[in-house]
């Protein structure tokens, strides 16, 4: 058994370009800030982004992947 730290219910407030996603969330809650907070301060391995179906959030995530700031994991769970 592997130990994994996760937060599976995270809302995004704004995109990197300041487009609103969830109006009631803080403006600083964009994908980049959330990802950095998870990894650098909280030690979270897995984060569930509730608003990831938004085209603007998808664009932010794709930029994060293109810039090499994150990587996609395969579906076989052999990375744990």
Mean pLDDT per 10-residue interval, the chain, length 80 residues: 82 86 76 86 84 85 88 65
Q: How high is the pLDDT of residue 76? A: 60
Residue 37 within a domain: yes
Q: What pTM, to 2 d.p., does this model score?
A: 0.65
Identify which of 5, 9, 12, 7 has the alpha carbon closest to the alpha carbon of residue 61. Answer: 12
Residue 78 within a domain: no
Count of domains in the chain? 1
Phi (first) and psi of residue 21, to 5 degrees: -115, -55
Q: How high is the pLDDT of residue 67? A: 92
Q: How high is the pLDDT of residue 77? A: 58
Residue 72 within a domain: no
Residue 79 within a domain: no
Residue 17 within a domain: yes
Residue 73 within a domain: no
Residue 18 domain boundaries: 6-66
Residue 1 within a domain: no
């Amino acid at each position: 058994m592997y130990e994994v730290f996760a937060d599976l219910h995270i809302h995004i407030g704004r995109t990197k370009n300041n487009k609103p996603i969830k109006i009631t969330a803080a403006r600083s809650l964009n994908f980049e800030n959330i990802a950095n907070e998870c990894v650098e301060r909280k030690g979270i391995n897995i984060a569930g982004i509730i608003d990831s179906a938004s085209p603007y959030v998808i664009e932010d995530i794709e930029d994060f992947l293109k810039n090499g700031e994150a990587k996609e994991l395969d579906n076989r769970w052999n990375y744990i």
